[in-house]
Structure 1
Amino acid sequence: MTPRVVVLSAPSGGGKTTIAKALLARRPDVGYSVSATTRPPRPGEQNSVAYHFLSRNEFARRRDAGEFVEWAEYAGEWYGTLQSEVDRVLRSERHVLLDIDVQGAAQVQGRYPPPQSIGIFILPPSAAAWGRRLVGRGTESPASLERRLEQAIAEIRQSSDWRHIVINDDLNGAVGEVARIIDEDGARPHRPRPDQVSRLVEALVREADRLRHGVKGD
């Protein structure tokens, strides 16, 4: 087995973190790269477990020192993958799993071109379920939620650019699909039917627009 850099990406609330946790529980040959962020911890999140929580000054210092494989601004906060985290997992001869946004995924795949990396985009199962999940978090201000929704719309519209797409309509099934893509070394494109994806994308964009206008009070 040649260890790969496996990138899971999704619009906010798409379930990529839940899939990542379930995959890690099943697969001892996969290790997790803990991302860094400037956003405040949510209730129950532990430093260096959920994220490496950094101040903006510390994040900027480490970014400028070249310590990040990728970094991006998302909904007004900075997120990034430390090179040391990727190296730590690869040295253990395991696949390294990254749970990151679309901007960061593009940077990682530039640093680790396929087949060194495998990029997988996760789509929520339905617009209604996704909308409830986003609004139900209740962890951010209206302005922050609006920025997150705008970013999600842009990411969903780019989903057709991905070689591998998994619809998260059943956790066990989605985890199994991700595992198969890894086991096949990402050799074959893995995507639902194009019409299924296009209908879902249109519904998700409409839902995000509806929520965004609701946040703005339009």
Structure 2
Amino acid sequence: MTKPTNRRGLLLILSSPSGAGKSTLAKMLMGWDPTLRFSVSATTRAPREGELDGREYYFRSKDQFKAMIDAGEMLEHAEVFTNFYGSPKAPVEAAMAEGRDTLFDIDWQGGQQIRNSSLGRDVVSIFVLPPSIAELESRLRGRAQDSDDVIAGRMAKSQSEISHWAEYDYVLVNRELDRTFTDLRTILEAERLRRDRQPALSGFVRGLNEEFEAR
């Protein structure tokens, strides 16, 4: 398995409409590469039973959250049903300095904010599409977790989310989970090999030139 190197870590953004499979794919990717860091969001909502600060979320008061925004400490943030959610910048920057990649399971709005942030040049963004709208609804109903009203709301929101597919670097159609995961893994491996993500290459090529000169 790939280990952290002296390269600068990248930010892998994974987005999709609810039910298209991004959370499942994110878990599979984390299992495949334990060096990946999953971005833990901050929130102003109260912790639920069993949740721990720093594991499920960084739990903050609204005043603390707004202070983080004002201080430029959030990569992205949004207000959802009277609570704030967002991605703190400091843990991401620490991971990048260690050569570790950070995975974000976020919507298109959060992805857009990160791409427009000071770390935008380190972003690799992937949008996951369902094979059909009928299949998307079938997957949502197959969870047996939500009421008909909630499912209807998710489906209504999906059209807006899908309209942003062209803003992403890569787009995957999740027809078959294992195939999609293989493609996702291939993208990450290829992005890690980009010339501008291999800082040791300059020194290596310099050594090759010195060998030429010594002949």
What's the TM-score, normalizing by structure 2? 0.70
Letter in 2 for 1:131: E
* 1-structure distance, mates of 2:84, 2:155: 16
Does the C-alpha gap of structure 1 residues 84 and 164 become closer, same or farther in structure 2, counting only changes over 3 Å?
A: same
The answer on whether the counterparts of 1:76 and 1:147 sit within 8 Å (CA) in structure 2 is no
Cα deviation, residue 182, structure 1: 1.6
Counterpart pick for 1:162 among 155, 168, 183: 168
Letter in 1 for 2:170: H
Letter in 1 for 2:68: R
The answer on whether the counterparts of 1:75 and 1:147 sit within 8 Å (CA) in structure 2 is no
2:120 corresponds to which residue? 113
Q: Give the secondary-structure state (helix, strand or coil) at the position aligned to 2:95.
A: helix
Letter in 2 for 1:59: F
Moved more, 29-38 or 91-100: 29-38
1:98 corresponds to which residue? 104
Cα deviation, residue 99, structure 1: 1.1
Counterpart pick for 2:43 among 31, 37, 41: 37
1:138 corresponds to which residue? 146
C-alpha offsets along residues 148-186 of structure 1, whole Å, 9 cap, x if unaligned?
544432111121332301122333222221121122218
Q: Give the secondary-structure state (helix, strand or coil) at the position aligned to 2:72.
A: coil
Letter in 1 for 2:146: G
* 1-structure distance, mates of 2:77, 2:135: 29
Aligned length: 184
1:13 corresponds to which residue? 19
Q: Give the secondary-structure state (helix, strand or coil) at the position aligned to 1:177.
A: helix
C-alpha offsets along residues 74-112 of structure 1, whole Å, 9 cap, x if unaligned?
566532110022123223311111111101101111123
C-alpha offsets along residues 117-168 of structure 1, whole Å, 9 cap, x if unaligned?
10111112332342244453328x94x7666544432111121332301122
Cα deviation, residue 46, structure 1: 5.0
2:77 corresponds to which residue? 71
Q: Give the secondary-structure state (helix, strand or coil) at the position aligned to 2:191.
A: coil
Counterpart pick for 2:158 among 136, 152, 155: 152
* 2-structure distance, mates of 1:42, 1:170: 34
2:208 corresponds to which residue? none
Listed as ranges, the gaps of 5+ residues in structure 2 are: 1-6, 195-215
* 2-structure distance, mates of 1:41, 1:70: 21
The answer on whether the counterparts of 1:74 and 1:151 sit within 8 Å (CA) in structure 2 is no
Listed as ranges, the gaps of 5+ residues in structure 1 are: 188-218
Does the C-alpha gap of structure 1 residues 125 and 37 become closer, same or farther in structure 2, counting only changes over 3 Å?
A: farther
The answer on whether the counterparts of 2:76 and 2:86 sit within 8 Å (CA) in structure 1 is yes
* 1-structure distance, mates of 2:158, 2:48: 20
Q: Percent identity?
A: 33
* 1-structure distance, mates of 2:55, 2:129: 25
Q: Give the secondary-structure state (helix, strand or coil) at the position aligned to 1:138.
A: coil
The answer on whether the counterparts of 2:44 and 2:62 sit within 8 Å (CA) in structure 1 is yes
